[in-house]
């Protein structure tokens, strides 16, 4: 009857039966608060107190959506999409082809598919470690490429897995960019503050095996989703009437270079100010000015972009309220203490239980960056009691914190890919992003984190 366990399971069940994720989060938080004995008034108060934690993220996503639509107006992403289309369809345009030429075209298309998937993974990795923009690149890059994905019959579930792999794996392994925040500040800081003596330089070694588990999941997803999947061909999938009207006039090279320069400047502003809001706002204003867009059309573009990202914003706000109720319920310590009392001193079962609890907590909170503080206070002394080494403790806590980031309906690592892939309404958040990423990343990471705790 643990309130955290009940809330997370209820939230997942409601999401699976296609109840809106925002509604599922609110209902699950209320039910969890009641099981914790908080009372309806205290539960709602805790939920409302946590909403502010998601407000800045929601505003960031709304501005990113507006920036993305403005970029599509510039013609830059359309030019990129058309260039890729030419590569895809340029093998042979003859109506009657020999068997050999057909095989050559299939081989070329397979190479193009592989190159696209590798490029998507590389950009997702760079968004965490090299150019820390997180999911900001997804609504800008992915929607204009949906037509290309349709031509190649690429299963979008595979693209979702590629994006989530890049968004999660490297920040939990490489101490650069967001990885520096996760490993050096959060993981190392919470380990040391709870009495574990370990150097920050040792943490990447502890997280190597869990990262390999994520890589194994990516290989499995690539094999499982290798078959072609057909989607409804739409006129420039994912584009609005405003965007389609702008593409009639092809941008010249000067306009393309100017648009690219604005994007770079917007990135610099974001990095200098450490604010997605500032970078996206600067990019939107600069790009609409540089492209000569009229004020009325600029307002329409902003509304269109905000609408595109509004669902993510509401989900993140609701997830922040849900997480606050879970913390206030006191269910996480009770969950760990109950598991440890049942398992006793069995390290194998204890490691498995701690990974499973981490999965439930992170899927409920929706962020590994917010989970470390919750579980490290309990896990560090528990691991010391059970005789785990410092490396094993670090691997266990780091993996338990990151495990639910992929596969959670409320995580931006799944919401971001859905926002890009569902721009034409043909990609379901739960069944095409959450379930695939849960199966191919959470389950391998569950085993890899357990194995690392046992071997290190």
Range among 16-20, 93-97, 120-124, 262-266 rated most confident: 120-124
Mean pLDDT of 202-206: 92
Q: Whole-angstrom Cα distance, residue 321 to residue 141?
A: 30
Residue 411 has a pLDDT of 81
Residue 246 has a pLDDT of 43
pLDDT of 94 over the 60 cut: no
For residue 127 the two structure tokens come to 């968004």
Q: Whole-angstrom Cα distance, residue 453 to residue 370?
A: 22
Q: Whole-angstrom Cα distance, residue 194 to residue 183?
A: 15
Owner of token pair 């965007």: 243
Q: For 413-437, write each residue's pLDDT tens digit.
A: 888 899 889 888 899 988 999 999 9
C-alpha 43: how far from its chain's center?
28
Mean pLDDT of 333-361: 77
pLDDT of 366 over the 70 cut: no
Q: Whole-angstrom Cα distance, residue 144 to residue 81?
A: 6
Residue 370 has a pLDDT of 66
Q: Whole-angstrom Cα distance, residue 331 to residue 3?
A: 6
Specify whether the CB–CB gap between 359 and 312 falls below 8 A. no
Share of the chain above pLDDT 70, in %: 81
Q: Which of 41-50, 134-143, 170-179, 243-252 has the lowest mean pLDDT?
A: 243-252
Q: Whole-angstrom Cα distance, residue 321 to residue 48?
A: 6
Q: Whole-angstrom Cα distance, residue 426 to residue 422?
A: 6
pLDDT of 65 over the 80 cut: no
Residue 244 banded pLDDT, cuts 50, 70, 90: very low
For residue 46 the two structure tokens come to 């805790």
Residue 245 has a pLDDT of 40
Residue 211 sits at the vertex; the CA angle it makes with 209 and 215, to the nearest 5 degrees, is: 110
CA distances from 145 to 47, 64, 84, 326 (A): 38, 18, 9, 39
pLDDT of 159 over the 90 cut: yes
Residues 6+ apart with CB under 8 A from 360: 4, 5, 8, 335, 404
Residue 224 sits at the vertex; the CA angle it makes with 221 and 226, to the nearest 5 degrees, is: 100
Q: Whole-angstrom Cα distance, residue 62 to residue 59?
A: 5
Range among 135-139, 200-204, 236-240, 328-332 rated most confident: 200-204
Residue 249 banded pLDDT, cuts 50, 70, 90: very low
Mean pLDDT of 366-384: 74
CA distances from 330 to 25, 46, 119, 298, 326 (A): 18, 12, 43, 48, 7
Residue 353 has a pLDDT of 84
pLDDT of 47 over the 80 cut: yes
Mean pLDDT of 193-214: 90
HEC letters along 295-306: HHHHHHHHHHHH
Residues 6+ apart with CB under 8 A from 447: 213
Comparing CA positions, the residue from 300, 261, 341, 309 lying closest to residue 415 is: 309
Range among 13-22, 131-140, 381-390 rated most confident: 381-390
Phi-psi region of 387 (alpha: psi -120 to 50; beta: other; left: phi over 0): left
Residue 300 has a pLDDT of 77
pLDDT of 82 over the 60 cut: yes
């Amino acid at each position: 009857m643990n309130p955290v366990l009940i809330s997370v399971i209820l939230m997942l069940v409601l999401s699976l039966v296609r109840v809106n994720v925002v509604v599922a989060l609110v209902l699950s938080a209320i039910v969890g608060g009641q099981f914790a004995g908080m009372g309806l008034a205290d539960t709602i108060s805790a939920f409302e107190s946590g909403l502010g934690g998601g407000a800045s993220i929601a505003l960031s996503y709304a501005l990113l959506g507006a920036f993305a639509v403005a970029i599509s107006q510039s013609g830059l992403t359309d030019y990129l999409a058309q260039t890729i289309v030419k590569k895809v369809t340029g093998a042979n345009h003859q109506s009657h082809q020999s068997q050999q030429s057909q095989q050559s075209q299939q081989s070329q298309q397979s190479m193009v598919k592989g190159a696209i998937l590798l490029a998507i993974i590389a950009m997702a990795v760079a968004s965490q470690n090299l150019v820390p923009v997180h999911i900001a690149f997804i609504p800008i890059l992915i929607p204009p490429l949906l037509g290309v994905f349709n031509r190649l019959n690429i299963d979008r579930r595979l693209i979702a897995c590629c994006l989530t792999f890049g968004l999660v794996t490297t920040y939990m392994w490489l101490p650069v960019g967001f990885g520096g925040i996760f490993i050096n500040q959060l993981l190392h800081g919470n380990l040391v503050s709870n009495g574990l003596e370990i150097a920050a330089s040792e943490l990447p070694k502890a997280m190597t095996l869990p990262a390999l588990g994520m890589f194994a999941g990516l290989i499995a997803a690539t094999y499982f989703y290798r078959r072609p999947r057909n989607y409804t061909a739409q006129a420039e999938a994912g584009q609005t009437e405003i965007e389609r009207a702008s593409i009639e006039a092809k941008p010249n090279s000067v306009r393309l270079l100017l648009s690219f320069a604005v994007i770079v400047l917007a990135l610099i502003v974001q990095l200098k100010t450490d604010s997605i809001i500032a970078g996206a706002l600067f990019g939107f204003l600069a790009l609409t000015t540089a492209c000569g867009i009229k004020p009325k059309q600029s307002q329409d573009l902003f509304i269109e972009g905000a609408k595109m990202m509004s669902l993510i914003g509401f989900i993140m706000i609701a997830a922040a309220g849900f997480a606050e109720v879970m913390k206030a319920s006191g269910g996480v310590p009770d969950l760990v203490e109950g598991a440890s009392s049942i398992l006793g001193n069995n390290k194998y079962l204890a490691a498995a239980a701690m990974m499973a609890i981490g999965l439930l907590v992170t899927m409920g909170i929706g962020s590994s960056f917010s989970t470390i503080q919750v579980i490290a206070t309990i896990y560090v002394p528990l691991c010391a009691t059970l005789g785990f080494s410092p490396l094993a403790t670090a691997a266990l806590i780091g993996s338990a914190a990151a495990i639910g980031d992929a596969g959670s309906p409320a995580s931006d690592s799944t919401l971001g890919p859905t926002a890009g892939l569902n721009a034409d309404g043909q990609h379901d958040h739960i069944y095409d992003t959450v379930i695939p990423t849960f199966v191919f990343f959470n389950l391998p990471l569950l085993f890899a984190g357990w194995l690392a705790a046992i071997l290190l």
